[in-house]
Amino acid sequence: MDLDFSPQDQAFRAEVRAFLEAALQPRFRELAARTTTVFGEPPEVLDWQRVLDDKGWLVPHWPADVGGQRWSPIQRFIFDQELARAGAPVLPGMGLKLLGPVLYTFGTPEQKAVWLPPLRRGTQFWAQGFSEPGSGSDLASLRTRAVRDANGDFVLNGQKTWTTMAQHATHMFCLVRTDATVKPQRGISFLLVDMAQPGVEVRAILSASGDHEVNEVFLDNVHVPAANLVGLEGQGWTIAKFLLENERGGSSYGPALVADVARLRAGLAALPCAADPILRDRLVRIEIDAMSLEMTELRILAGMAAGDAPSALSLTTKLIASEIRQAVEQFATEMLGMAGLALPEDRADPARTAAARYLNSRAWSIFGGSSEIQLGIIARGALGL
C-alpha cells in the first residue's frame, strides 16, 4: 500500500496552507481556542464562513453547480487536516453539512435558488429540529403535528428538544407528523420553518459546563407555507435517513483529533508533570488511536476515490471518534491537576477551558446517534447480524 500523498495532493496541501496562513486571522484562531462546545459561535464564526465562501472553499463537498469544488475525497481530507492543524473554528454543520445536501438532492429548482445562497452566505442560520422529548433514538415516534389550513399551508404544534444553536437560528428544518393514520415512518414530512414568527419559543438548556449550546423549541400554531415542504408529503423519513447518513458518515473526525493531541502534547511539555511516564504513556496511546482513525478514514476515502462504494468501515468512525474525543478531553483535565477542574465564567483564556470541554465531550456519545445506536448500525450494516 502506498501511504504517500501524490505530488498533486502535496501541491494542493501547500496551496491550502498558504491560504490559511493569510486568511485565518488571530480573532478566528482565538474563537476556536475558547470554544468548548462543538461549533464556533455566531456571529464571529459566520465571518469565517464568509472568508471561505469568498475563496470558493466553503462547501467543497457540494456539487459544482451549487458552489462545490470538484475535489477528490483525498483533497477534501487534506483540506480538513489543514483546517484542524491551523486551529480554524469549526463551522456549524446544521445548514452546510446537513440541510444543504438535502436541498440540492430533494429540493425543487425554486427551493435551491431561494435557500442555498443565504445558507452559504450565513445570512440565514439553521437549526435541526428532529429530536423531541421521548423521540431521540426512536425518532419515528415524533409527535409534532402539521395540519394543512384552508390555503394548503401547514400549521405546526409540538415541541423539539436538544436543538443546537436554536438561539441563533433564523430558520429550522423540521421533521413533523403530517399523517397519524399510517405506519409512523410514512406519516413524517420535512419542513422549513421561519423562527421569527409568533408561536415559536426558544428556551435555553444549560449544560453541566454552564454552556448554552442546546435548547427546547416550542411550536404553537406556527405557520409554514406549502412551498416550504421539501420532497413529497410523507417523504420526510426517507430524507431524514439520507441526512442522518451524512451526519454520521459524512465527516472525517481524525484530522481534528490528531491536531488536538498535538496541542495536548505541547501543553503537557510546559507542565511540571511533563516527564511523568504514566502520563506520557497515556498520551501516546491516545495519539496512536487518533492516528489510526485518521488512517482508517484515509483508507475509506482512497476506496471512494477509486470508485468503490463507502466501505462498512465508515459505519464505525463516529463511535470510535466519540471515544477518542472523550479520552482527549479527559487527559486535558487530568494533566492540569486541580486547575483542570475549574469552570471559569470567563472563557477568554483558552488554558482555562479544559473542564468545560471535558464535560461537553460527554455529549459525543449521544448526539448524531448514541454510541449504543452506532453499535446497532455496525451490527446490522457491517456484520450482517
- Residues within window 275-334 making contact with ligand FAD, judged by CB under 6 A: none
Quote the least distance from Cβ 146 to ligand FAD, whole Å: 16
Quote the least distance from Cβ 237 to ligand FAD, whole Å: 14
Q: Which residues contact 7 (CB under 8 A, 6 or more apart)?
A: none
Q: Give the residue among 104, 9, 92, 115 at the shortest CA–CA distance from 62.
A: 104
Per DSSP bridges, beta strands 126-129 and 171-177 are parallel
Quote the least distance from Cβ 243 to ligand FAD, whole Å: 10
**Residue 247 designated active-site:** yes
Tell me how far apart the alpha carbons of residues 220 and 215 are, in angstroms, rounded to a whole number: 16
Contact 166, 202 (CB under 8 A): yes
Asked if residue 117 binds ligand FAD (CB under 6 A), the reply is: no
Residue number, 214 or 328, with CB nearest to ligand FAD: 214
Residue number, 149 or 372, with CB nearest to ligand FAD: 372
Task: Enumerate the β-bridge partners of residue 189.
Answer: 176
Q: In this chain, which of 130, 253, 331, 358 binds ligand FAD, going by CB under 6 A?
A: 130
Per-residue x/- mask for ligand FAD, residues 345 to 374, rule CB under 6 A?
------------------x--xx-xx-xx-
Quote the least distance from Cβ 163 to ligand FAD, whole Å: 5
Q: In this chain, which of 125, 162, 173, 253 binds ligand FAD, going by CB under 6 A?
A: 162
Tell me how far apart the alpha carbons of residues 155 and 226 are, in angstroms, rounded to a whole number: 10
3-state percent breakdown (helix, strand, coil) of the chain, nearest 5: 55, 15, 30
Residue number, 81 or 178, with CB nearest to ligand FAD: 178
Asked if residue 237 binds ligand FAD (CB under 6 A), the reply is: no
Cα separations (Å) of 327 from 148, 200, 312? 48, 38, 24
Chain position carrying cell 503537557: 268
Asked if residue 208 binds ligand FAD (CB under 6 A), the reply is: no
Asked if residue 8 binds ligand FAD (CB under 6 A), the reply is: no
Task: Enumerate the β-bridge partners of residue 202.
Answer: 217
Q: In this chain, which of 32, 88, 214, 239 binds ligand FAD, going by CB under 6 A?
A: 214
Quote the least distance from Cβ 169 to ligand FAD, whole Å: 10
Asked if residue 376 binds ligand FAD (CB under 6 A), the reply is: yes
Chain position carrying cell 456484520: 383
Number of H helices, E strands in the chain: 13, 8
Cα separations (Å) of 1 from 4, 66, 110, 299, 314? 9, 35, 46, 10, 19
Asked if residue 131 binds ligand FAD (CB under 6 A), the reply is: yes
Quote the least distance from Cβ 70 to ligand FAD, whole Å: 30
Asked if residue 10 binds ligand FAD (CB under 6 A), the reply is: no
Tell me how far apart the alpha carbons of residues 295 and 283 are, in angstroms, rounded to a whole number: 18
The residue from 41, 82, 132, 247 that is catalytic is: 247
Tell me how far apart the alpha carbons of residues 276 and 161 are, in angstroms, rounded to a whole number: 44
Residue number, 99 or 214, with CB nearest to ligand FAD: 214
Helix (H, G, I), strand (E, B) or coil at 132: strand
Any idea which residues carry the catalytic annotation?
247
Residues that bind ligand FAD (CB under 6 A): 128-131, 136-137, 162-164, 213-214, 363, 366-367, 369-370, 372-373, 376
